[in-house]
Amino acid sequence: MELTGVRLVLNELDIEGLLSPGAAGDEYDLEAVRIAEALKGLPALEVTEDRVADIIEDVWSAIFGPFFPEDLLARQHAFHLAARRILRPRRTAIN
């Protein structure tokens, strides 16, 4: 998925809860860039939900961490949900 799609998913999920209290709309841009770059470098066979969730966790830990194990565990559902949405095939309009 391209950068705009990754950014959209991260903003929709707002994993850290920063956007709802009024953080800037570009709050997750750095994370989106790093995730999109990592995805571009993955061989097709490695593009799985678990692998994408691992990438998201690595990026999240580098930017927002370090986390205690229980804090990472609390975010696992969100990381996997983001991975599923990032991997979801894009719908095309039927003309």
C-alpha distances out from residue 56 to 2, 12, 21, 35, 50, Å? 15, 15, 23, 6, 10
Domain presence at residue 93: no
Domain presence at residue 94: no
Q: What is the pLDDT of residues 66-78, one digit of tens each?
A: 999 999 999 999 9
Per the prediction, the chain carries an average pLDDT of 91
Domain presence at residue 50: yes
State the pTM of this model: 0.89
| Number of structural domains the chain divides into | 1
Per-residue pLDDT, 82: 98
What CATH number corresponds to the domain at position 82?
1.10.340
Domain that holds residue 46: 3-87
Which pLDDT band, with edges at 50, 70 and 90, does 90 fall under?
A: low
Per-residue pLDDT, 91: 45
